Chain A
Amino acid sequence: MSPPVAVIAPLLVVLFTAILTAVAHRSLRVQRALSVLGGVAYLGAVAYLFARVKAEGTLVYQLADWRAPYGVTIVADDLSVFMLAFGSFVGVAALAFAVVYVDEVGQRVSFHPLYHFMLVGVTGSFLTGDIFNLFVWFEVMLMSSYVLVVFYSGAEHTRAALQYVVLNLVGSALMLVAIGGLYATVGTLNMADMARRLADPAAFGITTLAPVLGLSVVLFVVFALKAGIVPFHWWVPAAYRAAPAPVSAALAGVVKKVGIYAIIRLYFTVFAPADLGELALPGFSGSGPLAYFGPVLLVMAIASILLGGVAAVNRDDIDDLLAYSSVGQVGFIVLPLALAAFGIVAGVDAPAPYGDVAGVSGLAVLGVTAALVYSLNHGLAKSALFLASGAIYDATGTSRLDRLGGLAERAPVLSGGFFVAAIGLVGIPPLIGFFGKFLVFDAAAVAGSELALGGALAGAILTITYVTRAWNRGFWGTPTEVVDATRTNRTQVAVVVVLAIAVVGVGVAFDPVLEAAIEGAAAALDTQGYVDAVNPDTTTSATSGGGHA
């Protein structure tokens, strides 16, 4: 039986695009054409995979025909394809923007291969079913992003990149330590196999699971660092400001979501079933990693929302404002995850359709669904805003609010795109942002957590404040000198408009999106389903591997 190629098709397409653009580095025209064509083909491959997974359920691909848990497994389930679908859309939109934004010398140097390698890392991270492989994809993604952050290699950029690189290198070492420890404790690297062993350690001769708690904390720190959750957020503003606008858009819209995805996948699918015994920590109750994870994440989420929001309010630079705003918005994404962890620990149910998923707490489904929808919202809206900021910078030569003003008059279409994305961030119906915020509040209400409700409310008000301020200062009023001479690039504006339309369109046609998100959440919480699909069966003969002697 030949394996389902659909699973690795997106990975292969984007990998070969990256390589071919590197091979064609002598001709900018060929390189650009390959890059854009590859981007379109990548979207097609993702769409095909999405359709296949929706039709046939979880698809599994064993690399090199080595069976799980011995080989590296690539798994596409409802959660992976949900993240991949909007990640690829945002990634390719930012790429289209980059083609007209990054200057020719920059594009010739190595922009296209690097950008596509970053997408390779993102795609691999979403699809892998092996925890060490996840580390490798992270590194692929990070290495490309290091170079993209320092792409202009000026004074400001090198400083930001140095911070970003050193921080992430330490993070990578920590991740390696955590993975090694997990392997020593549990005896496997395959996520499905690990989940199975954690659920029933005695059956696999595992004597103690005690180290798992500490190791999962180390892993969580690494993922929180990637996602930029307070207190691991301080690299975000400098790095986002230093990177070219399309790269900032991809970093905020896609790369951050990889951290979120890793948290959902590892905590809710793999670690959730582990029974570590009653936590001997003051203030915590329960017996699994989630019992620890819930309260800690709740505090971090609320701190992110407040700190990001407050810091964004008085920024004078659009990029700075957007970077701090994305710290706050990530708080909104992880807040419902914390509530979902409460839901699992306490077994809280939720009304239909979230309570309809058999075998798991309804609040958990609601929480993860909210996180997914909010990720989608933030991915679309924030990347549109970063790209709009890039287009403004390209047209006026500045992104400082005190030098801008009256943009709505001189560049109405671009301003319209910015406006739609901005109110998407605020959460005005019928935009997707409204549903994202609504689900977060719903989860907080079902959980009965005043703290979460209050934090989210404060965050929503802060969001309105900084968005309004940016709009008033940058877009209304009489045009300033720099704005008067504005000439926007049509393609750049078109990309912003496409993303803004997506923010509206996904909100208007929200039912299928919600359905896909609930399916994604159910897949994330269905450990047994994940294990059965991957089927890491060690009882039959050793390997079915191909020609290995």
Chain B
Amino acid sequence: MTEVVLAAVLGFLFAVGTFLVLRRDVVRVVWGVSIISQAANVYLITMSSLGGAAVPFVSAGGADAPATVDPLVQALVLTAIVIGFGTTAFALVLTYRTYEEHGTIDMLELADGTEEAETNGAVATDGGADE
């Protein structure tokens, strides 16, 4: 039963994410991307056959270990969350920087600016986001 519900939730999340990625507003696109990556995480969790088994923590000494769900996928998801966190933060800062440079965060208006900015990009250096 859990799997069916999760499958429906996953379908919904991927749909919402895809919808947002296709919007014109860059902030929405970033939200969409982060929803898609969260959906991928939820998907990973469902791979551990959630059959009502216990959380994968063993009491001190490891005695009397109950049947647990697969702990590996949880480790994977943790890693993926950390990575997703970093990239989302970067994408948001980049969006802000784009807004500063172009005065817009509309994808179509950004694309329209291509011709006028075709000057090899002036070498104006400054930090931007560097983490």
Within the complex, are A and B direct neighbours (CB within 8 Å)?
yes
Q: Which of B21, B37, B90 contacts A147 (CB 8 A)?
A: B90
- B130, A176: Cβ atoms under 8 Å? no
- B33, A169: Cβ atoms under 8 Å? yes
- B125, A106: Cβ atoms under 8 Å? yes
- A162, B94: Cβ atoms under 8 Å? yes
Q: Which of A105, A158, A241 contacts B98 (CB 8 A)?
A: A158
Q: Which of B36, B79, B94 contacts A136 (CB 8 A)?
A: B79
- B44, A176: Cβ atoms under 8 Å? yes
Contacts of A157 in B (CB 8 A): 121
By a beta-carbon cutoff of 8 Å, the part of chain B in contact with chain A is 21, 26, 29-30, 33-34, 36-37, 39-41, 43-44, 47, 61-62, 72-73, 76, 79-80, 83, 86-87, 90-91, 94-95, 97-98, 101-102, 110, 113-114, 117, 120-130
Closest beta carbon of chain A to B126's beta carbon, Å: 6
Closest beta carbon of chain B to A396's beta carbon, Å: 11
- A150, B117: Cβ atoms under 8 Å? no
Closest beta carbon of chain A to B43's beta carbon, Å: 6
Mask for A367-396, Cβ within 8 A of B = 1, else 0? 000000000000000000000000001000
Docked pose: A180 CA to B126 CA in angstroms: 40
Provide 7 A-B residue pairs closer than 8 Å at the C-beta atoms, listed in order of the A residue.
A109-B126, A110-B127, A147-B90, A158-B102, A162-B95, A166-B29, A242-B121
Query: Mostly helix, strand, loop or mixed at chain B's interface?
Result: helix
A173 at the interface (CB under 8 A from B): yes
Closest beta carbon of chain A to B115's beta carbon, Å: 11
Tell me the total A-B contact number using a CB cutoff of 8 A: 136
Mask for A476-505, Cβ within 8 A of B = 1, else 0? 000000000000000000000000000000
Closest beta carbon of chain A to B98's beta carbon, Å: 4
Q: Which of B83, B94, B97 contacts A139 (CB 8 A)?
A: B83
A154 touching B121 in the complex, CB below 8 Å, given contacts A161-B94, A183-B47: yes
A248 at the interface (CB under 8 A from B): no
A176 touching B80 in the complex, CB below 8 Å, given contacts A106-B125, A152-B124: yes
Contacts of A110 in B (CB 8 A): 127, 130
- A549, B62: Cβ atoms under 8 Å? yes
Docked pose: A151 CA to B97 CA in angstroms: 12
Docked pose: A177 CA to B87 CA in angstroms: 17
Contacts of A139 in B (CB 8 A): 83, 87
Mask for A289-331, Cβ within 8 A of B = 1, else 0? 0000000000000000000000000000100000000000000
By a beta-carbon cutoff of 8 Å, the part of chain A in contact with chain B is 103, 105-106, 109-110, 114, 132, 135-136, 139, 143, 146-147, 150-159, 161-162, 165-166, 169-170, 172-174, 176-177, 179-181, 183-184, 189, 241-242, 317, 393, 398-400, 549
Q: Which of B44, B120, B130 contacts A393 (CB 8 A)?
A: B120
**Smallest CB gap from B96: residue in A:** A158
Docked pose: A166 CA to B23 CA in angstroms: 12
Docked pose: A100 CA to B123 CA in angstroms: 15
Docked pose: A139 CA to B80 CA in angstroms: 10
Docked pose: A161 CA to B44 CA in angstroms: 28
Contacts of B122 in A (CB 8 A): 154
A159 touching B98 in the complex, CB below 8 Å, given contacts A103-B125, A109-B127, A169-B33: yes
